[in-house]
Chain A
C-alpha cells in the first residue's frame, strides 16, 4: 500500500498555514459587535419608520371593519391545549366581524418552523397574522416580509422585537404576573421562608422576563423574610419537571414554596408533591389552568394559583388585528379601539395592549371555569 506521509503532511501543513494566515488577516479588520452597533440602530430605525409611516397618519377610529378579513393564528406550537383555547376565543371574535379564521403552527415549538409558516402566510396574502413567538428575533425577517406584503402583525403571549410587529397583546403586564405570583407565595408561607422557581425552558422569553421581575419584587422590604434559593428548568416536560421538583426537595429540605410560572411545570410539581411525603409541607403555586389544577385544589395540594383567560386573550388579539387592518388604529401608543364584548382598550407604551390583571384561582372559584 502506498503511504506518502511526507507529501500528505506537507499538504496538511500548507492548508493549515493558509488558514492561519486567513484568520490573522481577517482578525486585523472585520465586523465586530461594537462597531456594528450604529449600523444596526440605523437600519432598525429605518424599518420602524417604514412600518409605522401609515398612509393614513394616525388611526381612523370610525373606520369600519371590512368583511372577509383573513386572520390566522400562529401559536408557538400546534395541538397545544393552551393555545387552542386562545384560538377558540380568536375564532369567536372573527365570527363577530365576519372574517375568515384559521390556525396553523409547527408541531415542534421552534422558531425555524414558525418562519416557514409565516412565509406560507405571506404567500397566501392573509390580512392579519396573530403569533406567539418561539424566539423574539428569529422570526422578525419573515414578519417584515409579511408586512411588506400588506399583513398586520399582532403578537400575543410571547412577544417579538417591537420593530417587527404592530401591536403586542399581553395577557397581563409582566410586572403584574410577577407580583401576583410572589404575593401568592408570600401569603401561603406566611411571609417567611425559602422558595424556589421551576421554570420552562432556559430560553423561554416570557418566563425569563417574569423571573427577572420576581427577583426584583423580592427586593421589596415586605418580602425581606423570603429567600429565593434556586431556579430550575423543567423544559415544559412532565418528566423533567418531576425530576427537578424532586431535586429541589432533596437539595433544599426546608423549602416552603415552589413557584412554577408555566402550566406544564405547575401540573408536574403538584403531581409530584401530591404523591410524596412533602404534601402539606410545601406549597405549589404559579401559573396553571383550572382544568389541570382542579384535582389538586380540591385535594389541598395547591391552594391558589393564577392565570389569565387564554380565551379572552385570543379574542382580544383577533379584535386588535381587525382594528389594525381596518385602519382604526396604527399601533401607536394612546390610540383606543373597541374589542367586541370586552369593551374599550387603549394601546400602551411600546404598542402593548394589556388584557387585564391576572385572575387568582382557588377552591372558591375554580369550578366556574372550563379551560
Chain B
C-alpha cells in the first residue's frame, strides 16, 4: 500500500490533548473534525435537500432503486474497510466479482443446480481471496501492486471461462430473490443480507479484540507484532473474507441483472474504494469506522440517484464525486492544522527550556513510524 511521505499527519486523539480548559472543546472539535460524523451529516443533508428539491426522490420506489444500486458496492465495501484499516488494499474485488459471476453462468450452462452453484461461487471467491492473501502475507508483496495484477488476472479468467457469451436464462424464482421488494414498501429483500453482514462486520470491527487489533496493525505494524497480534494471519483472513464477499456479491449481481457476463462490474473497484475513503477511513490505516463507510456508500448512491433524477449530466456527477473525495481528506486535515495552530499559540506562552518550538510535535507523533517494506 502506498503511504505518503513527509506529510504523514498523526491522528491525535482527544485524550492526547493537554489537560485544561481546552480539553472539552478539543473533544467536540475532534468529533466534528472526524470525517465519520461529517459524512453522516452530509448524507442527511443530501437526502433532505434532494427530497425537497428533486421531484420523485422521496418515494418508496425510488428508495428501492437507490438501495438496489448500492447493495453490491456496500457488500464489497465491508471487508475492504477492514483491509484498508490494516494498511493494505484490495483492488481485485470487482474482477473477483466478475469471475464468480462468469463461473456462475458457466456452471449453469453445464447443468448444475443453482443451489449448488451459489455456495460454489462463494467458495471460489474465497479461493481468489486466498491467492491474494498468500501473495501479500507469505510472499510479502505490496498489496496495491499485487491486487492490480490479480485485478487483470481475474478479469482475464472471467473471459476465459465464459468467452463472449452472456448467460441469461436463470429461473425467475431466483432472479426475484435479488429484486423482490418487501410487501408494502419499496425496499428490496436483498438489503437484508447487507444489513446483517454490516452488523456482523461492525461488531467484529468495533467490539471485538480482533477488530481492535486491526487498528493496531494499521497504526503501527511492528508494535502490533510485538504485542502478540498475529499480523500476517489476520491480513490473510481479511483477504479471504474480501474474496468470499466478492463471490457473494457476484451471485447477487448475476441474479439481480439476470445476466452472467465476463465483463460484469468492470471498474467497480474504484467506486468501492471511493466510497470507503469517503467514509473517513484513512488510506494510511489505523483509522476509520464502519458507520462512516456505510454512510459513504449511501451518500454516493444518493448523490447519483438525485442528480440523475434532476437530469444533471454525467460529467457533473463525476466532478462531484471527485470533489467529495478530495474534501474528505482535505477538510479533516485543515481542521487538524487549525487545531495545532491554536495549541502552538497556547503553548507559546508557557516557558520552555527547549526554545525550538518549531520542532515541537503533538504528543503521539513520535510513535508513528513508517513500516519499512
Contacts and interface: CB of A to CB of B under 8 A. Distances in A.
B285 interface: no
Interface in A133-152: 135-141
Contacts of A124: 55-56, 309
Contacts of A32: 111-114
A104 B65 CA distance: 17
Given A23-B120, A27-B116, A33-B108, A116 B308 contact: yes
Interface in B264-286: 264-267
Given A40-B169, A138-B258, A203-B164, A19 B119 contact: yes
A208 interface: yes
A137 B105 CA distance: 13
B126 to A, nearest CB: 10
A123 B179 contact: no
Contacts of A107: 314-315, 318
B172 A1 contact: no
Contact of A104 (B164, B264, B304, B311): B311
A33 B123 contact: no
A31 B174 contact: yes
Nearest to A22: B119
A120 B311 CA distance: 9
Contact of A116 (B123, B170, B304, B311): B304
B258 A120 contact: no
A256 B7 CA distance: 60
Interface residues of A, number: 50
Interface in B291-339: 304-305, 308-309, 311, 313-315, 318
Contacts of A1: 228, 230
A112 B171 contact: no
Nearest to A123: B56
Interface residues of B, number: 55
Contacts of B112: 27, 32
Contact of A33 (B169, B175, B304, B313): B169
B305 A137 contact: no
B259 A138 contact: yes
A136 B314 contact: no
A160 to B, nearest CB: 11
Interface in A63-89: 78-79
B166 A31 contact: no
A179 B105 CA distance: 33
A32 B114 CA distance: 6
B232 interface: no
A181 to B, nearest CB: 19
A105 interface: yes
Contacts of B305: 116, 120
A33 B308 contact: no
Interface in B245-266: 253, 257-259, 261-266
Given A120-B305, A138-B261, A141-B257, 13 more contacts: A1-B230, A26-B116, A32-B112, A32-B113, A32-B114, A78-B314, A106-B314, A111-B259, A112-B253, A116-B69, A116-B304, A136-B166, A139-B257
Interface of B: 55-56, 59, 61-62, 65, 68-69, 108-109, 111-116, 119-120, 123, 159, 163-166, 168-175, 179, 228, 230, 253, 257-259, 261-267, 304-305, 308-309, 311, 313-315, 318
12 contacts: A23-B120, A27-B115, A116-B304, A120-B65, A123-B62, A123-B65, A125-B56, A136-B166, A137-B166, A138-B258, A141-B258, A203-B164
The 4 closest A-B pairs by CB, nearest first: A30-B113, A202-B164, A137-B168, A26-B115
